[in-house]
Amino acid sequence: EVITDEEVEKMKAAFELGGWESVASKIQENLDAIENAKLHIAITGESGSGKSTFVNAIRGLDDEDKEAAKTGVTETTMEPTKYPHPKHPNVNLWDLPGIGTPNFKPDEYLQQVNFSQYDFFILIASERFKTNHAKLACEIQKMDKKFYFVRSKVDADIDASRKRRKSTFNEEEILEEIKQNCIDCLQKEGVESPNVFLLSSFDFDKFDFLRLQETLEKELPVHKRQAFLLSLPNISIQILQKKKEVLKSQIWKLATLSCGIAVIPMPGLSVACDVAILVKTLTNYCKDLGLDEDALVKLARRVDKPVEDLKSVIKSPLAQEISVDVVKKLLTKAACGGLMVVEYLFSNIPIIGGGIAGGISFGTTYYMLKTFLDELSEDAQRVL
């Protein structure tokens, strides 16, 4: 399900060149490229549009958290400020100074904020998009970079409309009015076919955040796409499912590393490496799916529930403790399942099935990671 024909052919070619050592080396290079993929997202807009709050929200932080970007009703960002994601430090959000202020004029802005280092721009407005937004978008477009318009604070507009239109209020119609007004403003300023996303940084699970996520996912290179998806806050079943797909796609690569190490004739090496791979990977699963202690405490505070209530629906023992001893015990239990995977490998992927020790190591690692990824994903959905 997760190994494509192209990937199998690449493994065969590597095996023919240098055996399992060559295969493991290629796999490690690929995993390193994914782990080290850097993503730089620029957040810009006029002063007071909610840029800093958006930066915090997409990093899963509240404005009062220690690592949060500074927010306020006046301009608080005077120079480009990098905010690494707390759990994925290679994903960096840059809070840029407000456009249109005396110090930052649109025609000088891109040079001042070091335009070339960003993968894409998000242009935020809390009311209507103005000439400054359109001019900046046109300059970004000239330099062949992606940009996305975000209309923020939509929740405030909805609340205000509900009070003003008590008998005729229709949320869907209000949202359509806001979006069309934004599009009209941008088109008048010369932006062709603008794509506008309506958001509230306090309610990412509402409005257009999932549509924005899907758009970025399609347009980012594969390694950066995976880094972006894993860094998203766990606000919906769809995002959790996307994260599971990303993590699942790496399982066969980790299992192949285990396989490559197992065929090296050094007693104890395979078990030691398997345990190291599993401890690191399973820890990352809990972190990415929001099941680590810090994430659960923050979520409990946000929804005003005791953290014990959230923990009570978690069934996997790995959500409680991941240690070398725990993993060794689980490896022993996973051996039978691993042998079932080996039987499949012998009949379908000859280069893996060809090595008995390597096949068993591959099968056990694959079975264990897949089993616990399924369990932890179900736990994450129950918590949500």
Could you report the per-residue pLDDT of 288-310, keeping only the tens digit for each? 999 999 899 988 988 899 999 99
Judge whether residue 357 has pLDDT over 60. no
The residue with tokens 């405030």 is 156
CA 122 – CA 139 distance, rounded (Å): 14
pLDDT band at 266 (very low <50, low <70, confident <90, very high): very low
pLDDT band at 13 (very low <50, low <70, confident <90, very high): confident
3-state secondary structure of 45: strand
What pLDDT sits at residue 274?
67
Q: Extract long-range pairs of 190-194: CB within 8 Å, 24+ residues apart.
A: 190/134, 190/138, 191/134, 191/137, 191/138, 194/129, 194/137, 194/149
pLDDT band at 268 (very low <50, low <70, confident <90, very high): very low
CA 284 – CA 70 distance, rounded (Å): 29
Q: Which two tokens stand for residue 321?
A: 């403790």
pTM check: above 0.85: no
Picking from 245, 331, 328, the residue whose alpha carbon sits closest to that of residue 288 is: 245
| Kind plus residue range of the DSSP H or E element containing 149 | strand 146-151
What pLDDT sits at residue 380?
95
Judge whether residue 272 has pLDDT over 60. no
| Kind plus residue range of the DSSP H or E element containing 164 | helix 154-164
Q: Report, as an integer, the average pLDDT of 339-358.
A: 49
- Report the topology of domain 39-233: Rossmann fold (3.40.50)
pLDDT band at 265 (very low <50, low <70, confident <90, very high): very low
What pLDDT sits at residue 22?
77
| Kind plus residue range of the DSSP H or E element containing 84 | strand 81-84
Query: Worst-scoring range by mean pLDDT, 7-21, 110-124, 128-142, 335-349?
Result: 335-349
Q: Report, as an integer, the average pLDDT of 338-357.
A: 49
Q: Which two tokens stand for residue 177?
A: 């009015």
Beta strands in 162-219 (DSSP E): 196-198
Asked whether 132 and 100 are in contact (CB, 8 A), the reply is: yes
The residue with tokens 């051996």 is 335
| Range(s) within the chain of domains with CATH label 3.40.50.300 | 39-233
Q: Which two tokens stand for residue 169?
A: 């209020």
What pLDDT sits at residue 270?
47
Neighbouring CB atoms inside 10 A of 50's CB total: 22
What pLDDT sits at residue 107?
67
What pLDDT sits at residue 29?
80
Judge whether residue 178 has pLDDT over 80. yes
Asked whether 216 and 119 are in contact (CB, 8 A), the reply is: no
Most confident residue range from 10-19, 28-37, 156-165, 240-249: 240-249
CA 383 – CA 234 distance, rounded (Å): 10
Judge whether residue 126 has pLDDT over 50. yes
CA 343 – CA 362 distance, rounded (Å): 11
